[in-house]
Amino acid sequence: MNFSADAGKEGSESFVVDSERTLYPYVTGTSVIGIKYKDGILMAADMGGSYGSTLRYKSVERMKPIGKHSLLGASGEISDFQEILRYLDELILYDNMWDDGNSLGPKEVHSYLNRVMYNRRNKFNPLWNSLVLGGVKNGQKYLGTVSMIGVHFEDDHVATGFGNHLARPILRDEWREDLSFEDAVKLLEKCMLVLLYRDRSAINKLQIAKITEEGVTISQPYALKTFWGFSAFQNPTKGAEGSW
């Protein structure tokens, strides 16, 4: 807070309150991956929360059901994600108060999140998250994403963070519209395994969430089977020209 004398009025003082902005995130989660499959939407995320470069928290749930028809996953600042969940709780409560037999679907929730993220960006006080929003309503599957500055789109498969660079190429090659639940889970686990090997912020404790017409199911945390016995770890120059 600054106290400054008004140069134009002798003896008067003005009271100025400095505005505060989040300049960088503190505790963050890494990638979220979402795909459509035959019966609905599947989403995967690990449970790590990094304090800077330190993996500080290992039981952070980053996928939450929203209303009756939607599922939200988030990477980025964990406290900002909690703030977004508070916004959505108010939105769903207000929608339910109408008691008119209608309820917000995933397309409407995604549109709302687009406006929230873009509005906060225009105030130079963004919510430091990338979001994945999926859902099923009236037999229609919906999957979209929105960034911290309000950039948004919908697709058959989406990812945030490193997943956008490492998982999307796998999904472009192997995803298909008629994936069964079992095959879709295997594809997500393949993507998560690549991220586990390549992303320093990823941990081997993940959840997979499913949303269909029947509702949302989020799995218990589990670990993937990994393999670290690559020959490169024993002898990085093995087979290289000029090695001995």
Residue with tokens 């000029």: 242
Closest CA to 40 of 146, 175, 158, 139: 139
Which 3-state string (H, E, C) describes 158-176? EECCCHHHHCHHHHHHHCC
Hey, is 117 helix, strand or coil?
Answer: helix
Does residue 226 have an active-site annotation?
no
What residues have CB less than 8 Å from 107, skipping those under 6 apart? Answer: 137, 142, 144
Catalytic residue of the set 22, 28, 30, 54? 22
Closest CA to 177 of 61, 41, 57: 41
How far are the Cα atoms of 61, 75, 115, 124, 202 from residue 72, in angstroms, in the given order? 11, 10, 16, 24, 19
What residues are labeled active site?
Answer: 22
